[in-house]
Structure 1
Amino acid sequence: NRDRKRTKEKERNTMVQIKTTYTTKQPVDIDAPAERVIDFLLDVQQCSKCYPFVDKVEKVDTSNNDTTFRWTMQERRVGSIQMKATHISKYQRANNTVTWVNVSGGNMSSTGKFVITTINNAKCQVIAESTVETDMEIPKLLVDFASAMGQREMAQSWDAYLISIKKTVEAGQVVKVDPTEDVVVKDKTFETVRLQEDLRTKNYQTMVSDYYDIVTETYQSGWGNHFHFAPFSSSTESLESAVTRLEHTIADQARITKDSHVLDVGCGVGGPTLEIAKYTGCKIRGLNITKSQVAICNDRAKKLGLSDRASFDHGDAMAMPYPDNTFDVITFFDSTCHMPDKQAFVKECYRVLKPGGRLSGSDWLQCEKPTEKDIVQFIEPICAHHSCPHLASLDSYRSMMEKAGFYVHIAMDQRQCGDILRNWEILDHKTINTFKALPKGSVDPTIEMMISGAIALSEGARHGAFILGRFLATKDVPRVVVA
């Protein structure tokens, strides 16, 4: 099982080669003779102290005439991948140019040159060019973003490197300058948010379908077939284990058995639906507002040999295409957040459930009584990037269920069950800041939308404005009234 989990996680990553280049935008003036600058650049071990993120630089051959050096960079986090990069380069001088070429032996390569131009006996200018190629295993979701991220990080690092070289040569001692990381934040007003919410509510059917038509393939390749989040029980639990465990918990609490007739609302590509069918042996239907996903679900059910027990329908969960008293259980996994009228959904669940039927599921929520700042800064970006008209709270869900006639057994914040922040661990703070500062249009639009959405979830959850909820409610058995 452990090997299978590792294989699943590896399938969500891919090995890519990231190539980044740097050319000085304008020459750097150094108040020192050209020869002193050249001597410093050729003292590679000393000069390397000016470069950001270096662990150590050492000669490959200890002989005095050797000019080949192994650079070992600091171990760094790139998305969810811990990376230790090394490269070996040979340095040489030709007139007023210091060049380096790559030598095999590292997991990255580096080539480039410094060109030093004399201005007078006490001043010179330096320009630099460099190309770096790195092989790395990264989440598939970040593949199209990685090149742009690497390019920007290299520009920041080299700009800092050249300023450090200037200050060090002029001061006669190492002066290290950290790279700058400007962050772009878009401002919205509370009134603008309300207008956007109204627009999403009005167009929710086409909005949600269009959204999933765009993102489904990327979600499947980068996240799997289970389009929902879950609390992680430990720092080593895999994504597959966490989502499956939540699906089993929701099925167990709803007392689903092989004799149950179940409806899974907002079934995505059928991940939870088919898992519950396998786990319990029940007869289950999936309901989905996105036609293209219904076709995927039916195809997956056939391939898994579950077509006799699992079927899928196209329809709106706020106006379900089923008769009254049809199902024993209704499940939902992070799908009701896409519905503008959540009370209508709950009423429909009550209608199509049999007396004593159970409603069991999880959903995206906002915190209780969010401030205007919470809504503008955290909730609105989540809704805008994930096609959610608006988010409800834990108490509002409980109230809607009770108003429809349900008895609510569970309405809980899933942070009580484990770590929800690990759902977004592929995006560390540096990745987030780098992405925000990238020029508009530098990343594939779909990837840009999806990473922006993941950032919104991560920041909302860290702040506490966004949470994951879990619910269990029972449709009351009608009382017999004696005249």
Structure 2
Amino acid sequence: MIVPDSPSTAAGVAVHYDELDLAYRRIWGEHVHHGYWRTGRESPAEAAEALVAQVEARLAPEPGQTLCDIGCGYGATAARIIARHDVHILGLTLSAAQENVAKARALFRFTCLRRDWLHNELPDAGFDGAYAIESSEHMVDKTRFFTEAARILRPGGRLVVCAWLEGEGARPWEVRHLLHPICREGRLPSMGSRADYQALAAEAGFVLRDYEDASVRVRRTWTICLRRLVLAMIHDPMLRSLAFNPRTRSRDFILSLPRLILALRTGAMRYGIFLWEKGADQRSVPSLENPSNAPASSAATGR
């Protein structure tokens, strides 16, 4: 487990996303997560939708189910799933800016709450499935991240997690110059490995049903973001002001873009997609033998 010298807090994560709200939306769009390229010909918007499709395929929502979006961002993933399935989704975010955008969608069957997942106050066994797309990294207590997911899920419920992971065998210089700074600049209290996640999930009572290392499929995200950022600094005075304003506490994240490109290229950082099932009174879950063939949508609506 990678733990930076100055680990972030939930309040620090909220500040990060509130301060950089303009940058995230103008540079990448309504999805606060990587894109997933299957062919390499997808546009960034299509790739972002394709990652959601990967999560959706693993959740396999059924009519009438209730799902929990752990770290719902702007609510775009929930919008896509609700548009395709007769389900209810409750989303949680730490960010006031994200909450405002998500609530402005006024989606039927979607509720967004500004609440810390580690203190979520949700009912026991109240959800049929849950997903966390690049939010577990921001959790101060990763053990509790999994125990809370197990608590709120019904027996047999599915948990899908997309996560930035410490690469196995990361070299000392990669840890020192890539992973530690990425955690610090990205407001990640820690970065676990695949083995860390699997052990913590097992301790919480989850059974691993599928894992995909999607590092190669997602890594183009940061090259695109860096290129767009450079252009924005030239042409967008609002983003330029945000980046150079000394009062912007999260502006150091700009430094992480080249680090992320290098970390994913060298394997120091990996990107994993997990599918777990709550172990007690399990229901049968079909195996995704070839998860890369899960359906992907090129639609630009929803998250």
Of 351, 356, 365, the match for 2:151: 351
1:229 is matched with 34
1:296 aligns with 2:133: no
Tell me the alpha carbon deviations over residues 363-414 of structure 1, each in whole angstroms, 9 at most, x when there is no partner.
1111024333221111012112211111101111111111111110123311
Of residues 199, 206, 226, the one that matches 2:6 is 199
The SS at the match of 2:82 is: helix
Residues 362 and 471 in structure 1, CA contact (< 8 A), matched pair in contact too: yes
Mapped partners of 1:198, 1:340: distance in 2: 14
Q: Distance in 2 between matches of 1:369 and 1:339?
A: 23
Aligned partner of 1:474 among 253, 267, 277: 277
Contact 2:21/2:97, CA 8 A, preserved across alignment: no
Q: Distance between the aligned counterparts of 1:235 and 1:247, measured in 2?
A: 17
Secondary structure of 1:343's match? helix
Structure 2: state its 5+ residue gaps.
231-240, 283-303
The structure 2 residue matched to 1:370, chosen from 144, 154, 170, is: 170
Give the root-mean-square deviation of aligned CA atoms. 2.3
The answer to whether the Cα contact below 8 Å between 1:394 and 1:411 also exists between their aligned partners in 2 is no
The DSSP-based 3-state class of the residue aligned with 1:376 is helix
Contact 1:200 1:207 in 2 (8 A): no
Quick one: which of 109, 130, 147 aligns to 1:309? 109
**Counterpart for residue 69 of structure 2:** 264
Answer yes or no: is 1:397 the counterpart of 2:197. Answer: yes
Instruction: Identify the structure with the greater strand proportion.
Output: 1
Cα offsets for 1:292-328 (capped at 9, x unmatched): 321221112x1xxx2x210111211122220100000
Alignment partner of 1:420 out of 196, 201, 218: 218
SS in 2 for 1:425: helix
Deviation string, structure 1 residues 102-158 (Cα, Å, up to 9, x no partner): xxxxxxxxxxxxxxxxxxxxxxxxxxxxxxxxxxxxxxxxxxxxxxxxxxxxxxxxx
> What residue identity is the alignment partner of 2:121?
P
Q: Kindly indicate whether residue 262 of structure 2 is the aligned counterpart of residue 459 of structure 1.
A: yes
CA displacement 1:270-307 (0-9 Å, x = unmatched): 1212222212231101011223321221112x1xxx2x
Matched, 1:285 2:90: yes
Residue 380 of structure 1, aligned match among 155, 176, 180: 180
Contact 2:124 2:153 in 1 (8 A): yes
Equivalent in the alignment of 1:220: 25
Show the 5 A alignment for 1:158-197: 197=4
TM-score, normalised relative to structure 2: 0.81
**In 2, Cα distance between equivalents of 1:210 and 1:268:** 14
Amino acid at match of 1:328: D
Cα 1:199–1:377, aligned 2, differ >3 Å: closer, same or farther?
closer
Instruction: State how far apart, in whole Å, the 1-side matches of 2:272 and 2:66 are.
Output: 24
Partner SS, residue 249 of structure 1: helix
Number of residues of Structure 1 aligned to a counterpart in Structure 2: 265
Evaluate the alpha carbon distance shift between residue 316 and residue 198 of structure 1 in structure 2; reply closer, same or farther with a 3 A threshold: farther
Larger RCO (CA within 8 A; separation ≥ 6):
2
Inter-partner Cα distance in structure 2 for 1:390 and 1:361: 16
Query: Counterpart of 1:355 in structure 2: which amino acid?
Result: P
Q: Compute the displacement of 1:248 (Å).
A: 1.8
Superposition pairs of residues 104-123 of structure 1, within 5 angstroms: none
Separation in 1 of the partners of 2:259 and 2:81? 30
Q: Which amino acid aligns with 1:260?
A: Q
Tell whether 2:132 aligns with 1:329: no
CA contact under 8 A between 2:147 and 2:204: conserved in structure 1? yes
Instruction: Name the structure 2 match of 1:239.
Output: 44
Alignment match, 2:139: 339
Q: Any unmatched runs of 5+ in structure 1?
A: 1-192, 432-440
Over alpha carbons, which structure has the higher Rg? 1
One-letter amino acid matched to 2:266: H
The match for 1:449 is: 252
| Percent of residue pairs bearing the same amino acid type | 27
C-alpha contact 1:398 1:411 (8 A) present in aligned 2: no
Q: Secondary structure at the match of 1:226?
A: coil
Match of 2:20, SS?
A: helix
TM-score normalised by structure 1 residue count: 0.52
Structure 1 Cα separation of the partners of residues 72 and 119 of structure 2: 16
